[in-house]
Structure 1
Amino acid sequence: MTAVSIREVAPRDGLQNEEPIAADDKVRLIDALSGTGVRRIEAVSFVHPKAIPQMADADDVWARAWHNPDVRYSALIPNKRGAERAIAAGFGEIEVVVSASDTHNRRNLNRSTDETLDEITAMIPLVHASGATLEVIVATSFGCPFEGDIDPDRVASIVERVRADGADRTAFGDTTGMATPRRVRDLLSSVRPELLHFHNTRGTGLANVLTALELGVREFDASVGGIGGCPYAPGASGNIATEELVHMLEDMGITTGVDLESLLDVAAMAEKMLGRTLPSGVLRAGPRTRLV
C-alpha cells in the first residue's frame, strides 16, 4: 500500500460534541482544513437543531465556506428531510448513519435499527435522482455502551441489505472506542467497508488503523486535534487526531497528500477556538523530525 485517503471530520463529528461555537469560527475551520491537502471533508450535518444544536447553522456555514474544487465535501443526514436539505445545499456526497445496536439507534435517532434501514431504502432513489452518492455509516460496529459486544454477523447483515438496496459506500464507526486490533480483524474477516472511523477513547485508535491497513482498508476518518465524539453515547470521546494519523502514515512511506505543518497550524487554531487543550500528542510534541 502506497497511499491512503483521509476524510477530515472535525467540522461535523468533531464540533458536534463540543460547546457550540460561532458560525464564523466554523467557516474558518473548514476553510483552513481545505488548504491543508486533505481531499475529503465532512463539512456539516443537516439535523434538527433541537437534537444537535451545534449544527443548527449548517446551511449558513456551508453557504459561506470555501468550496475548494480539489476537495470532496460531504454532509451527514439523519433522515429524508436531512437528505432533502443536503441536496438543496448542493452536496454530491451524503452520509447517513444507522447503528448496529438497536438501543443506540433509538437513543441517536429515536427509532429502531430496522426502521432506520427502511428509511434508508426509501431515501436511496431520492439521493441518486439528485446525482449524489449515499454512504451508509454503521455506528457501534465494534461494540455498544448499552448492549456490549456486537455480533459481526449483525453488522454484515446490515451491510448486505444496504448494498442490495443501492447504497454507494459503507463505513464502520467505532462509536465509543471499543475496537481493538483483535475486534477489527474479527469484524473485517466477515465483512469489509470502504472506510473506517475509529475513536481513540481507550488509546487503540492508531493500532486499529494498522490492523485495518494490513487487511487492505485504504480510507479512514480522522479529526484535527482529536476532537469529537457522540452526544448519545457515554464515553464517546476522542476521534483519531488527523495529524497523528498523517504523522504515522507518512513515516511508513504511505502517502496522504496532507501537509503536516499546515495541519498542525489548524489544530492549534481549533484549540484556541474551543478554549481547551486538545488530546493530540503530535500537536503537543511536534513531528518526530522537528528539532529543538
Structure 2
Amino acid sequence: MANARLSGPSGAKPRPIFSAANIFVYGTLILVSLYYLLPLYVMLVTSFKTMPEIRLGSIFSPPVEFTFEPWVKAWSSACTGLDCTGLSKGFWNSVRITVPSVILSIAIASVNGYMLANWRFKGADIFFTILLVGAFIPYQVMLYPIVIILRELGLYGSLAGLILVHTIFGMPINTLLFRNYFSGLPPELFKAARVDGAGFWGIYFRIMLPMSIPIFVVSMIIQITGIWNDFLFGVVYTRPDTYPMTVQLNNIVNSVQGVKEYNVNMAATLLTGAVPLVIYFLSGRLFVRGIAAGAVKG
C-alpha cells in the first residue's frame, strides 16, 4: 500500500480541454456547421416573412410579422407552369416514384450482394466489375439511349418508366454496399446453415436478413435521398402531369410571370427537402452503424 501511494496515479495524463488540437478541430467543425446552417436559417426565417418585410433587405433578422401563408401557398396554390395547385401534386408523384424504386432496388441489390459474398459462381467477378463500372458512368451519357429504350417499351413519360430507371441506376452502389457487408459477417454462420440443410433463400431470410438491418438503413437513406432529390431523370423521363416535386420546385422558383415571391420560394424549397431530412434524423444512428459495420470494407 505504501509503495502504491508513493508511486502516484497511473495511466495516461489527461489532455487539457483548450489544447491547440482541440481548438483547431472544434473551431473547424463550428465553421463548417455555420457554412451549412446559415443558408438554412435564412431560408427558414424568410419563409415566415411577408413580402413587404422581405423588401426591407434584412435577410438575417427574424420575422416581425410571423405568417404561414407562404407555406400554404407553396403547398396548395403556387403556379408550377400552367398548373396552379402548388407542390401537393408533385409530392404524391414523388412518393409514388420513391417508394417502389427504393423497395425494388434494395431488394435486388441485397440479393446480389448476398450471392456475390456467399455463393460464388463462374463469372461472378466479371458481373461485379460490370456493376461497378456502371456506377461511374455519367448519367448524361445514357439519357438519350434510355429515352429510346423506354419509348420502345411503351414506358416513356410514365411513372413506371422512371421507377425502372431509378431501380437500375441504384443497383451498382447498393450491390457494393451489401456485398461488403455480407462479406464482413462471420462465415461460420453461413457454413453452419449449409450443414443444417438450409438453401439459398432459407439462409438469406432466416440468417442474413435479420443481421443486416443497419446496412438496409444505409441503403434506404442513400436511395431515398438520391431519388427524392433527383431532377434530371424526373424532367427527362416524365410529363407535366407526372412531374416529381423537384421539377415542380424548379418551375416555381424560376417562374418569370408575376412578382417574385421569395417567401413562397423558400417555403417550397424546405417542403421539398423535408422528407429525406426527416428520414435521416430518424434513422441516422443506424446509418452510422451500417457504414462502420461493413459498408466501407473491401
Same fold (TM over 0.5): no
Tell me which protein shows more helix as a share of its residues.
Answer: 2
Larger radius of gyration: 2
**TM-score between the two structures when normalised by the length of structure 1:** 0.23
Larger RCO (CA under 8 A, 6+ residues apart): 2
| Bigger share in strand | 1
| TM-score, with length taken from structure 2 | 0.22
